[in-house]
């Protein structure tokens, strides 16, 4: 089973990406851009 994961306090994804996917007991995390969610 694959579950899409999005944190509510993280910056929104830029483009058609997900923040993380959980599949078969593993979590696959995406990278992070160098800016904060408060300042943009």
Per-residue model confidence (pLDDT) at position 39: 60
Judge if pTM exceeds 0.85: no
Query: Containing H/E element for 26?
Result: strand 26-29
Taking residues 11-24, what's their average pLDDT?
A: 82
CA distance 40 to 23: 30
pLDDT of 12 over the 80 cut: no
Per-residue model confidence (pLDDT) at position 24: 93
One DSSP character per residue, the chain reads -EEEE--TTSPPPSSS--SEEEETTEEEE----SS-TTT-
CA distance 24 to 20: 13
State pLDDT tens for residues 18-34: 888 999 999 998 876 66
Per-residue model confidence (pLDDT) at position 40: 52
């Amino acid at each position: 089973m694959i579950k899409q994961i999005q944190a509510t306090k993280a910056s929104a994804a830029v483009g058609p990406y997900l923040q993380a996917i959980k599949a078969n007991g593993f979590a696959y995390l995406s990278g992070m851009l160098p800016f904060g969610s408060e300042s943009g």
